């Protein structure tokens, strides 16, 4: 790094690759006034990105990080940071690029960047394509796809509208949630609710006795909730899709959803050949997500929680 400058950032780091690609089209750039420049090379010696070719009066903008060390070093004031004038606009990344050793190294760097970009694009697209392929196969096998209509707001937040009005996206509830069911929303709430917490059961389910999110919320978006109130707060309700249940598709015994339901909103009833099938009671469901989290059916779960736009009070349940 002492000898060659930002070697890692310029040739290997994928973040530098993306930023370097975008910087080619930047409106404001460091530019060389050829009328003032005497080609002394002082600016090039100060450039940690090794992107200035003083003899050719050229700058490789894909490597420039706008540190401005060159501006202070130039005694002729030939370097300026300004938008391009009509006479200065160029279509390429460098203003001049004769065939030299430097230009060949830049070409090599560009090929590395293209390789990294292609690799990143492939790595990003592969999981999505694989998931779509699995879903297509599952659909052909008779399994039913579903889409949640309403996002789930944290328990006790009263309603989605009220929660969005009060929440400042401080993420205290997200960081303190012991079950890791709270995550920053992307577009679940729409454009106005980006980064506000929403409930997801991919990594866990909401503990039946937990009120941590309401305890740490600093501005009343999640009002304080007692354990007794939490037991009757319905942030969502369970939906059962019979076609996706492995009891039907694989002819095997399961019952995981019923075992993890704290209110017995899911009960197993006789089906056939000694097997039992889930039966749901949405009135006593609190939407804790235990059933959704443990359901083994893939790629479409047999049970999932649909959010309530306005949270309801669940009916008390009796253990039986």
pLDDT at 89 over 50: no
Using CA atoms, how far apart are residues 62 and 65, in angstroms rounded to an integer?
8
CA–CA distances in Å: residue 90 to residues 24, 32, 50, 93, 94: 10, 13, 20, 8, 8
Peptide bond into 299 cis (omega under 30): yes
What local confidence, expressed as pLDDT, does residue 310 receive? 96
The rounded percent of the chain whose pLDDT value lies above 70 is: 84
Label residue 57 by pLDDT band (50, 70, 90).
confident
What local confidence, expressed as pLDDT, does residue 301 receive? 93
The pair of three-digit structure tokens given for residue 159, joined into one six-digit string: 């309603």
Average pLDDT of the chain, as a whole number: 85
Q: Compute the 3-state secondary structure of the chain and give helix, strand, coil in percent, each to the nearest 5.
A: 35, 15, 50
Q: Which among 276, 280, 279, 284 has a CA at the least distance from the CA of 319?
A: 284
Q: b/e map of 140-154 (b: 16 or more CB within 10 Å)? A: eeebeeeeeeebbbb
Using CA atoms, how far apart are residues 180 and 175, in angstroms rounded to an integer?
8
Using CA atoms, how far apart are residues 188 and 150, in angstroms rounded to an integer?
8
Structure confidence by residue, pLDDT tens digits, 160-198: 999 999 999 999 999 999 999 999 999 999 999 999 999
Paired residues of 79 in beta bridges: 32
Using CA atoms, how far apart are residues 215 and 153, in angstroms rounded to an integer?
15
Using CA atoms, how far apart are residues 282 and 317, in angstroms rounded to an integer?
11
Specify the pTM. Answer: 0.59
Structure confidence by residue, pLDDT tens digits, 290-319: 999 999 998 889 999 999 999 999 998 877
Structure confidence by residue, pLDDT tens digits, 256-274: 999 999 999 999 999 988 9
Using CA atoms, how far apart are residues 68 and 47, in angstroms rounded to an integer?
9
Q: Which among 267, 283, 294, 279 has a CA at the least distance from the CA of 316?
A: 283
What local confidence, expressed as pLDDT, does residue 5 receive? 62
What local confidence, expressed as pLDDT, does residue 114 receive? 78
Cα angle: 173, vertex 282, 159; to 5 degrees? 40
**Side-chain half-sphere exposure of 196, counting CA atoms within 13 A:** 24
What local confidence, expressed as pLDDT, does residue 109 receive? 60
What local confidence, expressed as pLDDT, does residue 94 receive? 44
pLDDT at 103 over 80: no
What local confidence, expressed as pLDDT, does residue 193 receive? 93
CA–CA distances in Å: residue 131 to residues 121, 280, 292, 304: 16, 28, 19, 18
């Amino acid at each position: 790094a002492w000898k060659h400058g930002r070697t890692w950032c310029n040739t290997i780091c994928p973040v530098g690759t993306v930023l370097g690609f975008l910087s080619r089209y930047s409106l404001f750039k460091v530019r060389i006034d050829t009328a003032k420049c005497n080609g002394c090379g002082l600016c090039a010696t100060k450039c940690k990105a090794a992107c200035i070719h003083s003899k050719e009066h050229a700058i490789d903008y894909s490597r420039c990080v706008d540190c401005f060390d060159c501006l202070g070093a130039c005694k002729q004031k030939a370097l300026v940071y300004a938008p391009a004038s009509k006479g200065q606009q160029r279509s390429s990344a460098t203003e001049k690029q004769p065939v030299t050793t430097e230009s060949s190294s830049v070409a090599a760097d560009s090929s590395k960047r293209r390789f990294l970009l292609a690799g990143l694009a492939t790595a990003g697209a592969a999981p999505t394509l694989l998931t779509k392929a699995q879903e297509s196969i599952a659909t052909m096998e008779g399994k039913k796809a579903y889409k949640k209509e309403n996002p789930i707001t944290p328990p006790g937040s009263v309603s989605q509208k009220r929660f969005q009005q009060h929440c400042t996206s401080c993420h205290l509830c997200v960081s303190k949630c012991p079950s890791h069911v709270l995550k920053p929303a992307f577009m679940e709430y729409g454009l106005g609710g980006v980064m506000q917490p929403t409930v997801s059961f991919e990594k866990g389910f909401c503990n039946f006795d937990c009120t941590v999110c309401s305890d740490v919320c600093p501005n009343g978006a999640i009002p304080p909730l007692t354990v007794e109130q939490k037991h009757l707060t319905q942030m969502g309700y369970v939906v059962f899709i019979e076609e996706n249940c492995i009891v039907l598709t694989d002819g095997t015994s399961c019952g995981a959803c019923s075992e993890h339901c704290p209110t017995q909103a899911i009960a197993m009833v006789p089906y056939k050949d000694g097997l039992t099938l889930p039966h749901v009671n949405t009135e006593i469901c609190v939407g804790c997500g235990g059933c959704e989290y443990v359901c083994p059916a893939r790629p479409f779960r047999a049970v999932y929680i649909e959010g309530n736009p306005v949270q309801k009070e669940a009916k008390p349940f009796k253990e039986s």
